[in-house]
Amino acid sequence: MLYAVIVIGSWLMTTCGIFVFLTLSNTGKPAEYGRYSNPSPSKSMIPAKLAWMTQESPAFFIPFYFYWTDQHLTEYGKFLTCVFLFYYAYRTFAYPLLIRSKNETPFEIVLMKFLFCIFNGFIQGSWNAYYQPEIDKFHPRFFVFFGIWLFVIGFIIHCISDLHLISFRYNLPNDTYSIPRGHLFEYISCPNYFGECLQWIGYAISTRSFPAIAFAFFVVCNIAPRAASHHECYKKKFGAQYPNDRMALLPGLW
């Protein structure tokens, strides 16, 4: 029964990824949080720090339950849960404390992300706990090490880009923007999104499970249109001052 729930949930996530990508790409309207926040008296708004902590927390606490209660069938499954927890510990506890943004997030967006993290935290955590085989029984070691290496590289890019943006904005008045410089920002507008895509693709390669592949696919489908929106926003705001050879998400390609 649980196996069927995980598989159906993974198919549902894949389908949602396609729907999100097509919707965001065709409308050209990004989700209203961060720089696209649009407060109004009719909307319930949540401060950015609280929004991030709230919406990301289930993706940490649900897999943590599986880890804490020691329900894992294999040591490799436990290791993958630790990898997943490592990222969401950063996203739930560290990142919200670092951000400076005064933008608020609509309650409905926080709620949707919160529900998605419950759903994703459960299918990733339960798969790793009950169905993830050991390395030697299913996983060629090359895929394991390459996937984890990709995850680590992606996380480093993601984290450095986040910190670079945060420190960059500390020198600006509240809620204003300038052209980011240095690091991968010289090549792409959204290296933080590039790193996030890279890390979850790496996680999917190392796991080789349907839930992990579905999640990586969803992340790319969700992030790619937002990266395109950021890129167009920069170009529109700064015009000829914005570097012509800077891509949106993939260096030298797109």
User: Which pLDDT tens digit goes with each residue over 117-159?
Assistant: 999 999 999 999 999 988 875 557 788 899 999 999 999 999 9
- Show Cβ contacts of residue 103 under 8 Å, excluding neighbours closer than 6 positions: 33, 34, 35, 37, 48, 175
Euclidean distance between CA atoms 215 and 16, whole angstroms: 10
| 16 alpha carbon, distance to own chain's centre | 15
CA angle 22, 161, 152 (to 5 degrees): 85
Position 54, amino acid:
T
pLDDT of residue 30: 61
The percent of residues in the chain predicted with pLDDT above 70, rounded, is 89
**Average confidence (pLDDT) over 2-23:** 94
pLDDT of residue 31: 57
Q: How confident is the model at residue 217 (pLDDT cuts 50, 70, 90)?
A: very high
pLDDT of residue 193: 95
**Which pTM value belongs to this model?**
0.90
Residues 52-96 pLDDT 10s:
999 999 999 999 999 999 889 899 999 999 999 999 999 999 999
Euclidean distance between CA atoms 67 and 16, whole angstroms: 28
Euclidean distance between CA atoms 100 and 94, whole angstroms: 13
What are the tokens at 64? Answer: 């943590």
Buried b (16+ CB within 10 A) or exposed e, 224-249: bbbbbbbbebbbeeeeeeebeebbbb
Backbone φ and ψ for 105, nearest 5 degrees, come out as: -115, 135
pLDDT of residue 140: 72
Q: 105: which strand partners?
A: 46
Q: 179: which strand partners?
A: none
Cβ proximity of 139 and 76 under 8 Å: yes
pLDDT of residue 52: 92
111 C-beta neighbours (distance < 10 Å), count: 14
Euclidean distance between CA atoms 38 and 45, whole angstroms: 9
Residues 167-213 pLDDT 10s:
876 665 555 667 888 888 889 999 999 999 999 999 999 999 999 99
Chain position carrying tokens 């951000």? 99
pLDDT of residue 92: 95
Q: Coil, helix or strand for 104?
A: strand
Q: Please, what sign has the CA dihedral across residues 184, 186, 187, 193?
A: positive
Q: 46: which strand partners?
A: 105
pLDDT of residue 218: 97
